[in-house]
Amino acid sequence: MTEEPILVKQIAKTLDDKKAIGIMALDVSHLTVITDYMVIASGRSVLQTKSLADDLDDKMAELGVPLRTREGYQEGRWIVMDYGTVLVHIFHPEAREYYHLERLWADGTNAIDLSDVLTDDQQG
């Protein structure tokens, strides 16, 4: 597994600061060519998932990290934000439980330790 990039931790911290829940990050570079890392988090409502996406986009723009594409924002149940080497998935809790990306992409060795950037009650 490669060393986690600063960007993954910046994204996780931004989501944590805005009270996202169940934040986790995975190194998927050995499983797919579409991205190197995935950050998965949930909001408590459609309104919060959209707010999390907006706040994350603002923070990444401040850091000079361009958003390549964003999908699912209108519905607010599963928002995917593509920052190139990092795909961010922001879910409504029911959608996260249904799609369970963690099951699809975690292989038991690829979780990234975010304990240094997350508050104890927000870790996935």
Structural domain boundaries of the chain? 6-112
pTM: 0.90
Q: Architecture of 6-112 per CATH?
A: 2-Layer Sandwich (3.30)
Please identify which residue in the block is written with the tokens 């927000």: 122
pLDDT of residue 120: 66
pLDDT of residue 4: 52
Mean pLDDT of 19-41: 94
Q: What 3-state class would DSSP assign to 21?
A: strand
Q: What 3-state class would DSSP assign to 32?
A: coil
